[in-house]
Amino acid sequence: MPCTFVPRTDDTIPLHILSEDGLADWSADQPEAIRNWIGANAFTGALGQSLVIADADGKPQMALAGYGTPTARKRGRFHVATAAAQLPTGSYEIASGLDANATEIEAIGWLLAGYAFDRYRDQSPLRARLVAPDQLDVQRIEAIVAGEVLTRNLINTPASDMGPPDLADSAHALAKQFDARIDVIVGDDLLTQNFPMIHAVGRAADRAPRLVDMRWGSSGPKLTLVGKGVCFDTGGLNLKPGASMGLMKKDMGGAAAVLGLAHMIMATGMNVQLRVLIPAVENSVSGNAFRPQDILTSRKGLTVEINNTDAEGRLVLADALAYADEDAPDQIISMATLTGAARVAVGPDLAPYFSDDPAFVSALEAAATATADPVWRMPFHDPYESMIEPGIADLDNAPKGGFAGCITAALFLRRFVTESPYAHFDIYGWQPNAAPARPKGGVGQATRALHAAVLPLLKR
């Protein structure tokens, strides 16, 4: 798939990106023939428009892409990717119209517009390829795009080919690529090594549960990423209805996101001591499935009453977070497709997150804006702590009533991190409708923002 830049050649076509209010000034400096061609094709600079202008021999001499108005641009992102999908075969170079930051965002969008999930069927490649802009760090951009491609591929792969062993194999491949260390605890060894809730959630499946532990880097601050790796979620004995089960191949989207972010970090040589923890399980139904009203004892020693087996993600994350916290890193970040409540609150496009650290919030919000990777802060609202305390056990995995579901889930996870700064992302990991640079299917959320924010944050 064409998700990389191409070299400049003699046939490279300059691309001018023109806003609606900038078209007239730009056109005034062009020959009359070009002005006439623009008028004849009703090119106004509106978002989504593109136009190729030929020379006297009929060969493309330049191309135009509409950049709309500031108001129109606020309603989306990766605007030039629309033109990239429309332009004819050739290599193009952004010649004018954007500052350096906008050029980087649009370049990333163009490369991502070339993504197609082609594991099971050939897909039409993007015909228009982009020449690397001179003023940008090309290797860094391609590393970021490659991390996003990894995330998308992992989420898009169905559970038949992306079960716990396959997810672990993907982590092994990433570790091998960057010479990282990796260890995987499998099956009943989870019990002997004190990961009881990961084992309980995954024990009913034919493919054994496991905990992936990858480490990279020997200097710099310690950053630990924890990703929910529920490779398929039937809901367990609290079985999901068919309509709710249809997208559950994406319930390992948190694991896919942290692996994609890990790729970005390692490929750009970030000076951190990176650790990635992924509890990889299937939440299945069989005679030994964990049950409603069971009480599980977690790695941390906290007891958890199971009031819904479909609230399993927080259980496997809890053991992994407790393990991460024992190392007391400088920052722990968890990412998970955790609650429907988060989707109801902010929809599929925003990545809601929880953090009580003003420095983390400030760095992330600035990076999210700069990278066109939107996030939305949600509260660790302490008065709701009583909602996750059932009385018969320390914690309730599924409080009754349904109020503040994403907040109570985040509060549940926070109970397992006591020694380290902690942030949690309740992502969706799925693009329900095609958008520029984001085809329908698996998608990364907040990873580009985190990549931009995390090192300055950890160096504070």
DSSP for 47-82 reads TT-EEEEE-TTSSEEEEEEEEE-HHHHTT-S-THHH
Do the bridges between strand 375-378 and strand 430-431 make them parallel or antiparallel, or are there none, so unpaired? unpaired
CB-based contacts of 440, cutoff 8 Å, min separation 6: 431, 432, 433, 434
Average pLDDT, the chain: 96
- Residue 286 has a pLDDT of 97
Start-end of H helices in 7-161: 23-28, 32-40, 70-73, 80-86, 100-113, 138-156
**According to CATH, what is the number of the domain 141-458?**
3.40.630.10
Output Rg (C-alpha) for the chain, integer angstroms.
24
User: Where are the domains positioned within the chain?
Assistant: 13-114, 141-458
- Residue 402 has a pLDDT of 83
Kindly report, residue by residue over 196-240, the tens digit of the pLDDT: 999 999 999 999 999 999 999 999 999 999 999 999 999 999 999
Going by C-alpha positions, the residue among 177, 270, 171, 165 that lies closest to residue 214 is 171
Third-level CATH fold of 13-114: Leucine Aminopeptidase, subunit E; domain 1 (3.40.220)
Inform me whether the pLDDT recorded for 401 exceeds 90: no
The pLDDT of 318-331, averaged and rounded, is 98
How would residue 321 be classed by pLDDT, with cut points 50, 70 and 90? very high
| Angle, vertex CA 194, rays to CA 173 and CA 292, nearest 5 | 100
* Residue 288 burial by Cβ neighbours in a 10 Å radius (0-12, 13-18, 19+): exposed
- Residue 460 has a pLDDT of 61
306 touches 295 (CB < 8 A)? yes
The alpha carbon dihedral of 352, 357, 358, 360 has a sign of negative
| Separation CA 372–CA 374 (nearest Å) | 6
| Separation CA 222–CA 276 (nearest Å) | 11
Look-up of token digits 């809730």: 197
Do the bridges between strand 13-19 and strand 210-216 make them parallel or antiparallel, or are there none, so unpaired? unpaired
The pLDDT of 436-457, averaged and rounded, is 94
The pLDDT of 134-159, averaged and rounded, is 97
Kindly report, residue by residue over 430-446, the tens digit of the pLDDT: 999 999 999 999 999 99
The pLDDT of 384-388, averaged and rounded, is 97
367 touches 453 (CB < 8 A)? yes
| Separation CA 33–CA 179 (nearest Å) | 57
| Separation CA 247–CA 385 (nearest Å) | 30
Whole-number Cα distances in Å, 14 to 60, 93, 129: 9, 5, 12
Kindly report, residue by residue over 242-265, the tens digit of the pLDDT: 999 999 999 999 999 999 999 999
| Separation CA 235–CA 253 (nearest Å) | 16
Q: Comparing 105-109, 129-133, 280-284, 454-458, which segment has the lowest mean pLDDT?
A: 454-458
For the stretch 241-275, what's the b/e string if a residue is b when 16 or more beta carbons lie within 10 angstroms of its beta carbon?
eeeeeebbbbbbbbbbbbbbbbbbbbbbebebbbb
Kindly report, residue by residue over 22-50, the tens digit of the pLDDT: 999 999 999 999 999 999 999 999 999 99
Hey, is 340 helix, strand or coil? helix
| Separation CA 355–CA 410 (nearest Å) | 10
Inform me whether the pLDDT recorded for 355 exceeds 70: yes
Inform me whether the pLDDT recorded for 1 exceeds 70: no
| Angle, vertex CA 427, rays to CA 243 and CA 383, nearest 5 | 105
Q: Which residues are catalytic?
A: 240, 314
160's tokens: 């038949």
How would residue 68 be classed by pLDDT, with cut points 50, 70 and 90? very high
The pLDDT of 56-80, averaged and rounded, is 95
Inform me whether the pLDDT recorded for 456 exceeds 90: no
Kindly report, residue by residue over 97-136, the tens digit of the pLDDT: 999 999 999 999 999 999 999 999 999 999 999 999 988 9
- Residue 371 has a pLDDT of 97
